């Protein structure tokens, strides 16, 4: 909302500078977007003077010492550095007390020892352009002593306010004037309006309201107007706030809109067919050409003002070309009405058509002001366009709300605020706002006028109080702090630990957008999964879907860092991802990392390259932070259905039903690397967890498991198996057989693969896996004999299961 200070002064006396006002308004809740001044700012002690004489300064070649007549009384001596003037010229003279732009205060002083009682000014010093080459010579020779603002009238400052959604009342000059009056405790002056009892017949016979979205509609007929350009004052006022003058009648409606906040509409009476106006819901598909010359199709439920045949106005939003007031118009019907905010908002949004009217209606205009605005507009139309009011003002319905009374105690205000303040100070702020306060009882009655619809409850009055009382008055106090009442949520704790762990493993943490592009998503996660992640109203195609994984983002980061010559090696991220599991969409927590196997950096000493097991180890450690035992991760190779991962070189493990996780580790597929322009192999890992699972994690204390103080005995066993047989399946068989073989007399503590061999000496398609099997007893040192017996039994059992023991 643009507010012209010149316009504003019609309603309130302003004796602060525009800068001060722009500083003060935000502190009562009216945010200032910009301040623009046109013409000459208001200057004190800056008058027209005539140069009577000029002498050379005794100590400075470039300075002159002038005697200047600045009004009645003695001429003033002023030292001046300009050279473009001559004796007899009239120039602007800033006298002591004047404050020029940039807070430059003029004082009586000495220049190089010669007293100077002011300053003669250039155009630039007055803010009238950039000419600083010499004094501004006033060629038209205004009267000596005239204030410079009288010589150059027309200056104005326009403040653009960015108003919050609750302050529809400030979308007008009177609304803002009311706030300023409250702020500086000034009087608010409203324009006087007349009654207009029309004579004879009106221009329309009736207004029919067929929709509940229009509780109040008024229409006044004015006959014989003379459409012409508006007078200068009206044009200037509109232009000052960025509106284009059109003709006197339309300009008046716009002026009153910006003055009172009440949107008005003037119909050309001769274009209203059937002699009546109908406020009704549009029919589906009903066409209208709005004033912006767009042909629009309305939908059922949008409200229109129609005549007997067609819609003339999208109610509260915009008129149509069909009923526009033009140069041939002589008779008009003036609408002033109140429409339901929700209805106007919905229509405006659906049509993507926003106007000064719809902006105000959707923020709830003052229904009691409907009549005032109509009368104000009629006064002005009669004044600037002539004509006469005919027929009665047609008024259908009642203001849907009026003033209200809120009961409040001053103690309540103090209780919410938490500081002491006197009753009178509280009541005073309400009074300044134009509310009426009855403080005769402990329970005050505060009467709030209809122009403040959002002040509805005692707490709203507290806000009004604190806003005007001033937030700098809130005293300082210590922070109320007692001990913790709860622990950080499990997900926050997990993320913190996971990132800390990875940072400790030399990963640089990244952060990528949650939204991603659907095409790439379909390629790497399948079209079906991608479709489940689609947004309904994305802004761009690059950000149209939710991400199912953090890895694509990390690959982006690898590419960017390679391109920028940063030799990226290890990157990680935590964040939310979205996945369909068993046909249902879930929001999941993820932690992921990527490792460039070759970061492209040359080294004076080589390091062993990371491999699948590097990733597996990290995922296991991350899983244990989530309460999942790494040993429980049952890995299987990923297949063709996971094109992001390299077949044969990546694995996944999941236990969705019980513990709500999925994990991946291994090489990114060569196809993906090509897509991402990456020259190196990339290892990656991702652990995806249902956040609810983290919260459910039991916090049972771990109790000590006793361990033996006697040494273990280890036997090695190599088995020849099919190349496709997994080490884990063999290990499990071995563990089972070993436990059986010891027969409870002692324990088989651990079975671990330590060697893998294929090639010479073994048949094609076979491999040899060697395991170390550790035995231990809790109470004694095992003898070779008893271990030997168990080991023999173990080998027999393995052979019985079909394994070949390698000699």
Partner 1 sequence: MKEQLAAIVAEVEGAVPALDKRAAFEAFKATISGPNGKLTAAMKGMKDVPKEEKPAMGKLLNETKQQIEALYAETLARLEAAETAEKLGPPIDPTLPCPDTATGSLHPLTQTRRLIESVFRKVGFTVAEGPEVETEWYCFDALNTPEDHPARDAQDTLFLPEAAVVENVSKHGSERHILRSHTSTVQIRTMMKEQPPLRIISPGRVFRRDTTDATHSANFHQMEGLYVDKNVTVVDLKAILDYFVAEIFGKGSTVRLRPSFFPFTEPSFELDMKTPNLGKLSNQWIELGGCGMVDPNVFKSVGYDPEQWTGYAFGMGIERIAMIVHGIDDIRYFYQNDLRFLQQFA
Cβ proximity to partner 1, 47 vs 694, nearer residue: 694
Q: Is there binding between residue 471 and partner 1 (CB under 8 A)?
A: yes
Of residues 21-40, which lie at the interface with partner 1 (CB under 8 A)? 26-29, 31
What are the residue ranges of helices labelled H in 25-129?
A: none
Q: What is the per-residue binding string for partner 1 in 512-551, x denoting contact by CB under 8 A?
A: xxxx----------------x-xxxxxx---x--x-----
CA distance 211 to 208: 9
Closest CA to 468 of 439, 432, 444: 432
Q: How many residues bind partner 1 (CB under 8 A)?
A: 102
Spatial neighbors of 635 by CB under 8 A, at least 6 apart, are 616, 651, 652, 653, 665, 728
Exactly one of 4, 561, 590, 669 binds partner 1 (CB under 8 A); which one?
561
Closest CA to 158 of 274, 369, 8, 379: 8
Exactly one of 584, 657, 658, 785 binds partner 1 (CB under 8 A); which one?
584
CA distance 468 to 22: 16
Judged by CB under 8 A, the stretch of 12-20, 209-217, 484-492, 648-656 that binds partner 1 is 484-492
CA distances from 713 to 709, 784, 786, 795, 798 (A): 13, 8, 11, 16, 20
CA atoms within 13 A on the CB side of 602: 1
Of residues 486-515, which lie at the interface with partner 1 (CB under 8 A)? 486-489, 491-492, 496, 499-500, 502-515
Of residues 402-421, which lie at the interface with partner 1 (CB under 8 A)? 415-419
Of residues 600-629, which lie at the interface with partner 1 (CB under 8 A)? 601, 603-607
Exactly one of 73, 197, 478, 759 binds partner 1 (CB under 8 A); which one?
478
Q: What is the per-residue binding string for partner 1 in 150-189, x denoting contact by CB under 8 A?
A: --------------xxxx----------------------
Of residues 673-702, which lie at the interface with partner 1 (CB under 8 A)? 690-692
Q: Is there binding between residue 220 and partner 1 (CB under 8 A)?
A: no
Q: Is there binding between residue 709 and partner 1 (CB under 8 A)?
A: no
Spatial neighbors of 793 by CB under 8 A, at least 6 apart, are 740, 741
- The phi and psi torsions of 478 (rounded to 5 degrees) equal -70, 155
DSSP sequence for 328-354 = T---EEEEEEE--HHHHHHHHHHHT--
CA distance 432 to 183: 8
Exactly one of 570, 652, 767, 776 binds partner 1 (CB under 8 A); which one?
570
Q: Is there binding between residue 484 and partner 1 (CB under 8 A)?
A: yes
Spatial neighbors of 365 by CB under 8 A, at least 6 apart, are 168, 261, 262, 263, 338
CB of 599 to partner 1, least distance (A): 7
Q: Is there binding between residue 586 and partner 1 (CB under 8 A)?
A: yes
Cβ proximity to partner 1, 59 vs 488, nearer residue: 488
CB of 625 to partner 1, least distance (A): 16
CA distance 577 to 521: 13
Q: What is the per-residue binding string for partner 1 in 227-266, x denoting contact by CB under 8 A?
A: ----------------------------------------
* Degrees, nearest 5: CA angle 614-620-621: 95
CA distance 214 to 347: 14
Judged by CB under 8 A, the stretch of 200-208, 259-267, 570-578, 750-758 that binds partner 1 is 570-578
CA distance 22 to 32: 6
Cβ proximity to partner 1, 300 vs 695, nearer residue: 695
CB of 491 to partner 1, least distance (A): 5
Exactly one of 255, 524, 578, 661 binds partner 1 (CB under 8 A); which one?
578
Cβ proximity to partner 1, 225 vs 491, nearer residue: 491
Q: Is there binding between residue 761 and partner 1 (CB under 8 A)?
A: no
CB of 417 to partner 1, least distance (A): 5
Of residues 262-281, which lie at the interface with partner 1 (CB under 8 A)? none
CB of 450 to partner 1, least distance (A): 19
Q: Is there binding between residue 342 and partner 1 (CB under 8 A)?
A: yes
Cβ proximity to partner 1, 231 vs 434, nearer residue: 434
Spatial neighbors of 53 by CB under 8 A, at least 6 apart, are 66, 67, 87
Q: Is there binding between residue 564 and partner 1 (CB under 8 A)?
A: yes
CB of 800 to partner 1, least distance (A): 43
CB of 477 to partner 1, least distance (A): 4
Exactly one of 328, 441, 477, 702 binds partner 1 (CB under 8 A); which one?
477
| 76 touches 85 (CB < 8 A) | no
CB of 342 to partner 1, least distance (A): 3
| 120 touches 143 (CB < 8 A) | no
Q: Residues 720, 721, 722, 726: what is their CA dihedral angle, to the nearest 10 degrees?
A: -130
Cβ proximity to partner 1, 493 vs 637, nearer residue: 493
Cβ proximity to partner 1, 260 vs 561, nearer residue: 561
CA distance 653 to 289: 62
Burial of residue 665 (number of CB atoms within 10 Å: 0-12, 13-18, 19+): buried
Cβ proximity to partner 1, 562 vs 791, nearer residue: 562
Q: Which two tokens stand for residue 740?
A: 């059986």
Exactly one of 107, 132, 567, 629 binds partner 1 (CB under 8 A); which one?
567
CA distances from 93 to 69, 90, 143 (A): 10, 9, 13
CB of 313 to partner 1, least distance (A): 21
DSSP sequence for 546-614 = E-S-SHHHHHHHHHHHHHTT----EEEEEEEEEEEETTEEEEEEEEEEEEES--S---SS--PPP-HHH
Cβ proximity to partner 1, 192 vs 603, nearer residue: 603
Closest CA to 514 of 427, 574, 429: 574
Cβ proximity to partner 1, 511 vs 783, nearer residue: 511
Cβ proximity to partner 1, 420 vs 779, nearer residue: 420
DSSP annotation of 229: P
Cβ proximity to partner 1, 240 vs 590, nearer residue: 590
Judged by CB under 8 A, the stretch of 479-487, 649-657, 668-676, 745-753 that binds partner 1 is 479-487
CA distance 163 to 172: 11
| 50 touches 90 (CB < 8 A) | yes
CB of 434 to partner 1, least distance (A): 17
CB of 23 to partner 1, least distance (A): 10
Of residues 431-460, which lie at the interface with partner 1 (CB under 8 A)? 457, 459-460
CB of 580 to partner 1, least distance (A): 9
Q: Is there binding between residue 103 and partner 1 (CB under 8 A)?
A: no
- The phi and psi torsions of 594 (rounded to 5 degrees) equal -130, 150
Of residues 344-363, which lie at the interface with partner 1 (CB under 8 A)? 345-346, 349, 362-363
Cβ proximity to partner 1, 334 vs 557, nearer residue: 557
């Amino acid at each position: 909302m643009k507010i012209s200070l010149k316009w504003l002064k019609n309603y309130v006396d302003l004796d602060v500078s525009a800068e001060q006002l722009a500083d003060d308004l935000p502190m009562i809740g009216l945010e200032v977007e910009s301040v623009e001044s046109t013409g000459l700012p208001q200057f004190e002690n800056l008058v027209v003077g005539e140069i009577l004489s000029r002498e050379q300064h005794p100590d400075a070649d470039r300075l002159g010492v002038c005697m200047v007549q600045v009004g009645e009384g003695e001429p003033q001596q002023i030292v001046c550095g300009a050279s473009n003037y001559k004796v007899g010229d009239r120039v602007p003279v800033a006298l002591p007390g004047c404050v020029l732009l940039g807070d430059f205060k003029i004082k009586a002083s000495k220049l190089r020892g010669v007293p100077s009682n002011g300053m003669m000014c250039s155009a630039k010093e007055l803010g009238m352009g950039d000419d600083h080459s010499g004094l501004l010579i006033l060629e038209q020779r205004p009267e000596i002593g005239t204030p410079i603002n009288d010589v150059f009238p027309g200056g104005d400052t326009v403040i653009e306010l960015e108003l919050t959604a609750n302050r529809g009342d400030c979308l007008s000059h009177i609304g803002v004037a009311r706030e300023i009056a409250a702020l500086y405790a000034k009087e608010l002056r409203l324009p006087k309006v007349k009654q207009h009892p029309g004579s004879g017949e009106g221009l329309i016979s009736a207004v029919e309201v067929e929709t509940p979205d229009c509780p109040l509609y008024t229409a006044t007929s004015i006959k014989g107007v003379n459409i012409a350009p508006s007078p200068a004052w009206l044009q200037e006022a509109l232009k000052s706030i960025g509106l284009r003058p059109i003709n006197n009648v339309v300009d008046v409606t716009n002026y009153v809109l910006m003055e009172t906040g009440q949107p008005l509409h003037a119909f050309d009476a001769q274009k209203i067919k059937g002699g009546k106006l109908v406020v009704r819901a549009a029919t589906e598909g009903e066409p209208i050409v709005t004033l912006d010359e767009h042909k629009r199709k309305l939908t059922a439920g949008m409200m229109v003002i129609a005549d007997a045949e067609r819609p003339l106005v999208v109610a509260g939003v915009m008129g149509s070309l069909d009923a526009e007031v033009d140069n041939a118009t002589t008779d008009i019907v003036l609408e002033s009405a109140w429409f339901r905010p929700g209805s106007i908002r919905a229509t405006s949004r659906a049509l993507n058509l926003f106007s000064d009217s719809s902006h105000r209606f959707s923020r709830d205009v003052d229904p009691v002001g409907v009549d005032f605005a109509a009368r104000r507009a009629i006064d002005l139309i009669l004044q600037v366009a002539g004509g006469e009011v005919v027929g009665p003002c047609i008024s259908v319905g009642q203001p849907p709300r009026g003033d209200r009374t809120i009961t409040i105690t001053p103690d309540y205000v103090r209780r919410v605020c938490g500081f002491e303040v006197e009753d009178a100070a509280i009541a005073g702020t309400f009074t300044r706002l134009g509310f009426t306060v009855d403080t005769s009882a402990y329970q005050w009655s505060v009467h709030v006028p209809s122009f403040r619809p959002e002040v509805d409850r005692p707490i709203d009055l507290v806000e009004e109080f604190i806003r005007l009382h001033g937030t700098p008055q809130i005293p300082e106090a210590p922070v109320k702090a007692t001990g913790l009442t709860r622990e950080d949520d499990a997900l926050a704790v997990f993320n913190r630990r996971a990132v800390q762990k990875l940072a400790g493993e030399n990963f640089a943490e990244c952060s990528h957008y949650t939204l991603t592009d659907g095409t790439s998503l379909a390629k790497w996660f399948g079209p079906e999964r991608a479709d489940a992640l689609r947004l309904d109203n994305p802004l761009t195609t690059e950000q149209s879907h939710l991400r199912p994984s953090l890895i694509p983002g990390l690959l982006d980061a690898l590419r960017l860092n390679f391109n920028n010559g940063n030799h990226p090696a290890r990157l990680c991220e935590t964040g939310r991802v979205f996945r369909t599991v068993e046909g249902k969409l879930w929001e999941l927590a993820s932690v992921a990392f990527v490792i460039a196997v070759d970061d492209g950096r040359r080294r004076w000493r080589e390091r062993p390259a990371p491999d699948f097991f590097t990733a597996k180890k990290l995922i296991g450690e991350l899983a244990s932070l989530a309460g999942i035992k790494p040993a429980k991760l049952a890995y299987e190779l990923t297949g063709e259905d996971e094109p992001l991962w390299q077949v044969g070189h990546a694995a996944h493990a999941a236990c969705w039903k019980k513990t709500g996780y999925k994990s991946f580790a291994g090489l990114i597929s060569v196809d993906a690397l090509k897509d991402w322009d990456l020259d190196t192999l990339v290892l990656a890992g991702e652990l995806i967890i249902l956040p609810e699972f983290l919260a459910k994690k039991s916090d049972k204390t771990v109790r000590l498991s006793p361990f033996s103080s006697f040494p273990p005995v280890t036997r090695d066993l190599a088995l020849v198996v099919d190349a496709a047989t997994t080490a884990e399946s063999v290990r499990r068989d071995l563990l089972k057989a070993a436990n059986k073989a010891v027969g409870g007399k002692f324990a088989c503590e651990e079975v671990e693969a330590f060697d893998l061999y294929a090639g010479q000496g073994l048949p094609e398609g076979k491999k040899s896996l060697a395991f170390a099997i550790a035995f231990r007893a809790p109470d004694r040192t095992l003898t070779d004999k008893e271990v030997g017996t168990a080991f023999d039994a173990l080998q027999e059992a393995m052979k019985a299961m079909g394994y070949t023991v390698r000699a």
